[in-house]
Structure 1
Amino acid sequence: MKKSLLFILLGVLFIFIFVTGYRTFAIQSRQPTPMKTNVVIDEEKAITHFSKALTYKTISYRDREKFDYDEFEKFIEFLQKTYPTVHEKLEFERMNDYALVFKWKGTKANKNPIGLTSHYDVVPILEGTEDNWEHDPFSGDIHDGTIWGRGTLDDKIGVIGILEAAEFLLNEGYEPERDIYFMFGFDEEIGGEHGAKVIAETLKERGIHFAFVLDEGGAIIENMVPGVDQPVAVVGIAEKGSATAELSIEGSGGHSSQPKNHTNIGRISKAIATLEDTQFHEELRGPVNDLFEFVAPEMSLPMRYVFANKSIFKPVIENILLKEPTTAALLRTTIAPTIFQAGEQYNALPEKASAIINLRLMPGDSLLDVENFIKETIKDDDIKVKVSGNEASKVSSVDGWHFKSIQQATRNVYENAIVAPYLMFAGSDAKHYDEISDNTYRFLPVLITSDDLNKMHGTNEQISIDNYINAIKFYIEIMIEASS
């Protein structure tokens, strides 16, 4: 009897090892073969153009009264002088005064157009940090192979990279098969309501519908995925929603010498602590699952074994990802208390208490889902819960020619990069184009480090010349790949 049981267990173990081993070696790479770009551009001229573009203080402020629109006007004039062929041969239109739209007419009217979008506004320099910059933030200085200034990463590089690519292709006599639109917002840093949103609404009224729109977003990052030696180019196929939950309670105050067992502050605090202890349900799904589908074939053997058999090791993978805030955010809607308001005097119990929680919503989680979750979790009927904001964008395809064009263009410039989809945490103008595009993707074609990410809205924003030149080459490649 014992021998029979042992043979059964050995048989099951053999089958398990055989099946999981087969899956490990059977998964195929989803990366296209690179066709190394042979583009040769006038690098000195392109660098000079970018350096000059960074000198315009096209700053977005929450208070729109602070916008210096003379700087925006000067930047637009600079574009007209710097890219004469683009302005001569493409249809150009200003929407809502400062949003810029170019239409490059293709040779085949039956094909849906594609859209390349970026923004030329930048965030302000944090007051008190001006002297921390090694080079003036609006100098466009070039030093030791690096270009310095606000907008080098976010996102004048996109605007200038696209226009440099278009100017090059036009002068080469290139004609796209499908229409290509360039759409440049001027208030992305504060939501894009007057820029990208107006562009999208206007094009919708005209019946324009895109095959895909490509905006800023992910980038090419080294040491991003355990078990993958190559840099990973992550292309956002969706972005999380951003919502605000306000928790508030009102009740009798009174003197602090005679407090109730549960005060307004205590009840709001308990509600927040309960939410943080509970958290939203986590699951390896959607864009995050797609990410590992694309990188698993490129992993070293031990990691490939685990991710090739996700159905078996899913709980293990989820537990590993939950240990770090960055990867935990890939799996669930996140909870971040940011503001707490209560009380004015040390010896008086406040009659009101409130807290603001910022939530980043996973695709599939609605605002109503979030509100219900909070109410059911805190279990306090006296606390009012109000949720407002935006749900996650739609999830774009990774199986069609649209995504494959981005993959191919990236690999043509960065031969060793592994191109994979992912879920973007931050917001972008891409969400405004969801309604008029089959797919919206988010990708900035530069190789960056975690240190670069910290500089994007911070001090000493900069980019290497090689990165900038490669961005231009990528935009040339994507225009060719996607238009045909």
Structure 2
Amino acid sequence: MKKLKLSLMIIGSLLLVFIIITLFNALTLESRQPSPKHFNGTINDDHAINSLSKAIQYKTISYQDRSKMDLAEFDRFITFLKESFPIVHKELELKKVNGHALVYKWSGTDSTKLPIGLTSHYDVVPILEGTEDNWEHPPFSGTVADGKIWGRGTLDDKIGVIGILEAAEHLLKEGYQPSRDIYLMFGHDEEIGGDEGAAMIVSTLNKRGIKFDFVLDEGGAIVENMVPGVNQPVGVVGVSEKGSATAELSIEGSGGHSSQPKNRTNIGRIAGAVAKLEETQFPADLKGPGEDLFEFVAPEMAFSMKYVFANKFVFEPVIEKILLQQPASAALIRTTIAPTIFNAGEQYNALPEKASAIVNLRLMPGDSLEEVKEYIEETIGDDEIKVTIKGSEASGVSDVDSWHFRTIQQSARNVYDDAVIAPYLMFAGSDAKHYNSIAENTFRFLPVQLTSEDLNRMHGTNEHISIENYLNAIRFYMEIIQESNQPLGR
């Protein structure tokens, strides 16, 4: 009996210590959000609205088949920029790279400071054939109606190009002079990889010995009701982007007549391999940018959620199980697989001699192509299925404790004072990856507040942006130009 009482006392004491420690962790969790400052810049609303509306009317469409691109339209767009932003084109040095990529240099007063770069792209994706009549306003009309600007590029990403140039035009008009050099860099083929735009800009600047403190591109946005446990809007700033690769699973063997099939056919084996991959999935691990996201938002959560995330060392398995329940949050913590193409057979009564499947992969930072290939081979467990993989690994991870990230945070909070600004892992690709080689840090953030419906419109039908959102984007770019010169920005 005494031993039982002693055991219970020990267990009770340990439980009490556990409760005290975990409660302390939750109660002492400090916010990582800077206090907002009041935005006091001025914007010519009519000029800004008219500029984006006109920009949308230029059909600067990128096609995978580059021969389809109407480069004359790209030339007209560049002429439009010169006419719309006369002070920028008078005061800043403009260099064209590869004919259509644009690099503006805004010289600062202190040449000892590394420059910063603001980048966007002005090419857009095509309109899906047959969907033109589904648009409330024509996709290249730039219609201004119902407090919104309509058309392809209002979200991705002429809003970035025009927003940055509007910010620079207003600051120049007010006589603003940055201390460090600022480069405004606009690619023309981001939607098809950026090889002729951003990649060539980087190559050109690298030859000139230009290195950046940080570069900011499009990417995350301020989202609503998308981060569990947080009631406020959350501004997610991409500090890395997942790698993108394609794995092909293929098998060759005897075909024959369908009346005498083997127990295991080529189609069946490839289908079985794909099924195993979907059933098994890559292992999940809350680390890197995914972990950083929740470290930044946890202090702003309701207490029950805050308690869990403040004690991740205990509850990590529970957290990962919760995150795996939704595709968006699952993609934060594991390399994903998505079977997209299946090729086999030509005749209904003939067994195909070949079968193959294409699986698209989005790689977590730290997962190499070779490791991913080995995992696929081990999972499917069929030596006769050949696995080939090609693509790119994840980009480097930028420093969330750097002054660069804090500058972005501060600038966003100055405009969206109720938003929680946090790092995250970007799933899609951007031009930012090209700048990794010449920038200490690269970030991905479109400074607008979006709903899930807005995100679906980004490459879809009825793409549009509210005028309020667009003007806030301009305010953000004005803020980040100025915040980069504060003591915080070295």
- Corresponding pairs, count: 484
Deviation per CA, 1:58-95: give whole Å up to 9, x if none.
01111111101111111000000011111111110110
Residue 197 (structure 1) aligns with:
199
Task: Identify the match of residue 92 of structure 1 among 87, 94, 97.
Answer: 94
Map of 1:362-401 to 2, 5 A cutoff? Answer: 362-401=364-403
Q: Which moved more, 1:288-297 or 1:226-235?
A: 226-235
Partner amino acid for 1:42?
Answer: N
Partner amino acid for 2:374?
Answer: N
TM-score by length of 1: 0.99
Whole-Å separation in 1 of the counterparts to 2:144 and 2:167: 21
Residue 404 (structure 1) aligns with:
406
Partner amino acid for 1:158?
Answer: G
In the alignment, structure 1 residue 432 sits paired with structure 2 residue 434 = yes
Deviation per CA, 1:225-284: give whole Å up to 9, x if none.
222111000000000000000111111111111111111111111111111111111100
Partner amino acid for 2:216?
Answer: L
SS state at 2:484 partner: helix
Instruction: Give the conservation status (yes or no) of the 8 Å contact 1:59–1:122.
Output: yes
Partner amino acid for 2:132?
Answer: E
In the alignment, structure 1 residue 325 sits paired with structure 2 residue 327 = yes
SS state at 1:483 partner: coil
Whole-Å separation in 1 of the counterparts to 2:283 and 2:227: 23
SS state at 1:399 partner: coil
Instruction: Give the conservation status (yes or no) of the 8 Å contact 2:98–2:197.
Output: yes
In the alignment, structure 1 residue 423 sits paired with structure 2 residue 436 = no
Task: Identify the match of residue 118 of structure 1 among 120, 140, 153.
Answer: 120
Map of 1:37-52 to 2, 5 A cutoff? Answer: 37-52=39-54
Deviation per CA, 1:171-201: give whole Å up to 9, x if none.
1111111110011000101111110011011
Instruction: Give the conservation status (yes or no) of the 8 Å contact 1:114–1:483.
Output: no
Instruction: Give the conservation status (yes or no) of the 8 Å contact 1:446–1:467.
Output: yes
Shift of 1:375: 1.1
Residue 103 (structure 1) aligns with:
105
Task: Identify the match of residue 19 of structure 1 among 3, 18, 21.
Answer: 21
Whole-Å separation in 1 of the counterparts to 2:365 and 2:7: 46
Whole-Å separation in 1 of the counterparts to 2:298 and 2:188: 39
Residue 280 (structure 1) aligns with:
282
In the alignment, structure 1 residue 247 sits paired with structure 2 residue 249 = yes
Whole-Å separation in 2 of the counterparts to 1:470 and 1:99: 26
Residue 337 (structure 2) aligns with:
335
Residue 228 (structure 1) aligns with:
230
Whole-Å separation in 2 of the counterparts to 1:236 and 1:175: 28
Residue 60 (structure 1) aligns with:
62
Residue 185 (structure 2) aligns with:
183
Shift of 1:219: 0.2
Task: Identify the match of residue 264 of structure 1 among 252, 263, 266.
Answer: 266
Instruction: Give the conservation status (yes or no) of the 8 Å contact 2:188–2:197.
Output: yes
Task: Identify the match of residue 155 of structure 2 among 112, 128, 153.
Answer: 153
Whole-Å separation in 2 of the counterparts to 1:36 and 1:298: 21
Deviation per CA, 1:372-411: give whole Å up to 9, x if none.
1111111111111110001000000000110000000000
Deviating 4+ runs (over 4 angstroms): none
SS state at 2:401 partner: coil
Whole-Å separation in 1 of the counterparts to 2:221 and 2:109: 32
Shift of 1:45: 1.3
What CA RMSD, in Å, does the superposition of the two structures yield over aligned residues?
A: 0.7
Percent of counterpart pairs with the same letter?
Answer: 67
SS state at 1:109 partner: coil
Partner amino acid for 2:60?
Answer: T
Partner amino acid for 1:481?
Answer: E
Residue 139 (structure 2) aligns with:
137
Shift of 1:483: 3.4
Whole-Å separation in 2 of the counterparts to 1:449 and 1:379: 42
Deviation per CA, 1:107-126: give whole Å up to 9, x if none.
11111111000000001110
Residue 310 (structure 1) aligns with:
312
Instruction: Give the conservation status (yes or no) of the 8 Å contact 1:180–1:483.
Output: no
Instruction: Give the conservation status (yes or no) of the 8 Å contact 1:96–1:194.
Output: yes
Whole-Å separation in 2 of the counterparts to 1:482 and 1:133: 40
Partner amino acid for 2:291?
Answer: N
Shift of 1:7: 1.5
Instruction: Give the conservation status (yes or no) of the 8 Å contact 2:42–2:170.
Output: no
Residue 446 (structure 1) aligns with:
448
Partner amino acid for 1:383?
Answer: I
Shift of 1:3: 2.0
Partner amino acid for 1:19?
Answer: I
Q: What residue ranges of structure 2 are gaps of 5+ in the alignment?
A: none
Deviation per CA, 1:428-470: give whole Å up to 9, x if none.
0000001111101000000000000000000000010000000
Whole-Å separation in 2 of the counterparts to 1:401 and 1:80: 33
Residue 216 (structure 2) aligns with:
214
Whole-Å separation in 2 of the counterparts to 1:175 and 1:229: 39
